[in-house]
Structure 1
C-alpha cells in the first residue's frame, strides 16, 4: 500500500517509516527538510531511497498534491509542547492536521491514521483511561491544540470517514532526533534526581508504537480508536526501573503535588529570563501528578500484538542516551554498543 507519512523526521514518524518498510508498504514522506529526514531514517535502518514530497503541512495545496499519490496516510507530524516551548502549535496541531485528515477524507484515502495522545484525556475523569473517557479541558496551549485536533478527527469519524485514532502515552526508546518529553525526563531523572510525587507515567516503546501504526493499515474497517498508553509506572517505580537498568541508585526527593505545581510555575517564569536545563514546566507537572493507567488490552487484541517489557525499553533508552552523549556513561550504567532498532 502506498502510504503518505507526515512527520517522518521525528521520533514516532521515523520509526513508523521503518515499520512500514518492514511490513512491505510503500511510504511517501511529506517533509520540510529532506536531508535531515534522510539522516534520521538512516539511524533507524531505512536507506535514502524512500520517496519524499517536500512541503509544509500548513500548505493545503502541497499536502493535497502528496495525498493524491497515496492510498492511505499516517499523520505523525505534531508540535510537542509539554516540557519545552514549542513553535507554531496551532498551525501544526490544528490547521496542519485539518489539511491532512480533511483532504485525505475528501480524496477517499483509507485508512487515515492520526496519532493523537493520551494527554487529550488528562487530567482524567477516573482511575482508568479508555477510548470512551471524556476529553479534558487543558489549561495549556499544547493540550488545547491537541484536543481541538482530536475533536476535528472525531467529527470526521461521525461522518463515517475511515479515520483511525491512536492514543500513545509517554514514548521512549532509541533514536529520538531531538530530546523531548519522556526521553528528556529520563535524562534529567538520572542526572538530577526523580521527584517522587502523586500520579505516574505511561511508558510506551516507540518501536511497539510503530508496529501498531503499521498494523492499523487495514482498509475497509471504518472509524476506529486505539488506546496505547503503555506500561503505567508510579514515579517511584520508574526510579526503581532506572536503578535496575543502571545498577546504581538514582537520587529521589519527595514532593507533594501542590509543591511540584508551584515549583514548576516558578521555573517557567525563570526560564523566560535565562535557560535552565531541567524539563519541568507547569504543564508537565500537571501531567505528572494526574496521569492514570490506560486500558490497552482491546488495542493489543484487535491488532494481534503485545508490548515489550518496560525495563527493556528503559535500558535501551538509557543506553542510547549515553551513546549520543546526552547522558554520561557512568550515569547510564549500561554496556556500550548500538541499541537494537
Structure 2
C-alpha cells in the first residue's frame, strides 16, 4: 500500500507520518519545503515538493497512491473559503485521476452544519466534494486542538485568555497526537468502506472556566478567562495582522457554533481519545509560559 500524507510537518501530520513509519510503512509526504522535515524522519519517507493549491501538481505527486491523508492547507488570505475551494479541487482531481481508493480527511466538529461556521465551511465543502465522487472516505470531525493554545502564549503569560464563547459552554478538546492515531488506524484498516464520519472528541468536554483551572494547575501560574464581545475579538484579530475576510472566517468558527449547536456524533467510546489537557499542558505548555518569565 502506498500512502500519501499532506501537511507532514503540521500538528497532526507529523504524528501521522511517525505512526505510519512505526507501522512499517514508507509514506510519500507532500509539502512545500522538504527541508522542514525533521532530520530523523527524512530517510524514512519519500518527500515530494508540491503546492496543494496546484491541482495538476498534486495529481502528479499522488500517482500510484492507494490511500491519502488530506489536510486542507492553512490560509491567510482575504478570501479563505476560496482557498479551501482551490484545495478541494486539488484533492478531487488527484483522487479521480489516480483512482485513489481511500481518503482520510481532517475535518472539524461543525462541518456538519455545512454553512454558517466561518472557516469550517471550507472543510464542509471538501467533505461534500469527496462524498460526491464516491471514494471510500473517512471524515475526521475533530474537536478544539490543544495546540490552539500555543497561538495565545502572550495572553497566557499575562494570565488572561479572552474568548467570545460562553464561559460555561462545554466543547470537545483534543490532542493532535490522538487525532493522528485515529487517522493512522483508518489509513491502515481494511475493515471499513464507503462514507464514514469519525468524530475525535478527546477525553472529555471542557468549558473555558475548566480550561482556565487546568492551565493554572499545570503551569503554576494563575490564568483567568474572560468573555469579550465579537467586535472586541475582531479588533484583536485585525491587530494580529489578519485581513478582514480572514477575521470573519476565524470568528465564525466560534460564533457559528455558539447557539444551539449539537455535534452530529455524540461522545462515545469510539469518539473518545485518551490524552488529557492537563497532561498535554504540563508537557508542552508549562515551559513555554514559565521559561519566558
Q: Is the 8 A contact 2:111 2:123 kept in 1?
A: yes
Alignment-derived partner of residue 21 in structure 2: 21
Q: Is the 8 A contact 2:6 2:71 kept in 1?
A: yes
For residues 308 and 136 of structure 1, do their structure 2 counterparts lie closer, same or farther at Cα, with a shift above 3 Å needed? same
Alignment-derived partner of residue 280 in structure 2: 313
**Distance in 2 of aligned mates of 1:109 and 1:103:** 8
**Distance in 2 of aligned mates of 1:272 and 1:11:** 22
Secondary structure of the residue that 1:316 maps to in structure 2?
helix
What aligned pairs does 1:82-231 form with structure 2 within 5 A after superposition? 85-86=76-77, 89-90=80-81, 92-121=83-112, 134-138=113-117, 140=118, 142-156=119-133, 159=134, 161-172=135-146, 181-185=148-152, 188-195=155-162, 198=166, 199-217=169-187, 218-219=189-190, 221-230=193-202, 231=204
Q: Is the 8 A contact 2:146 2:277 kept in 1?
A: no
Secondary structure of the residue that 1:166 maps to in structure 2?
strand
**Distance in 2 of aligned mates of 1:24 and 1:210:** 16
Q: Structure 2 length normalisation: TM-score?
A: 0.81
Note the C-alpha offset of 1:170. 1.7
**Please, what is the CA RMSD of the aligned residues?**
3.1
Alignment-derived partner of residue 278 in structure 1: none
Note the C-alpha offset of 1:90. 4.3
User: Deviation per CA, 1:156-211, whole angstroms, max 9, x where unpaired?
Assistant: 3xx3x2011111122235xxxxxxx3431465334340347513443211111111
Secondary structure of the residue that 2:73 maps to in structure 1?
coil
Consecutive unaligned residues in structure 1, runs of 5 or more: 122-133, 174-180, 275-280, 332-341
Q: Is 1:299 equivalent to 2:270 in the alignment?
A: yes
Note the C-alpha offset of 1:109. 2.0
**Distance in 2 of aligned mates of 1:272 and 1:14:** 27
**Distance in 2 of aligned mates of 1:264 and 1:4:** 38
For residues 30 and 271 of structure 1, do their structure 2 counterparts lie closer, same or farther at Cα, with a shift above 3 Å needed? closer
Consecutive unaligned residues in structure 2, runs of 5 or more: 244-249
Note the C-alpha offset of 1:30. 1.1
Q: Is the 8 A contact 1:194 1:250 kept in 2?
A: yes
Q: Is the 8 A contact 2:55 2:93 kept in 1?
A: no
Aligned length: 279
Range with greater deviation from structure 2 (263-272 or 230-239): 263-272
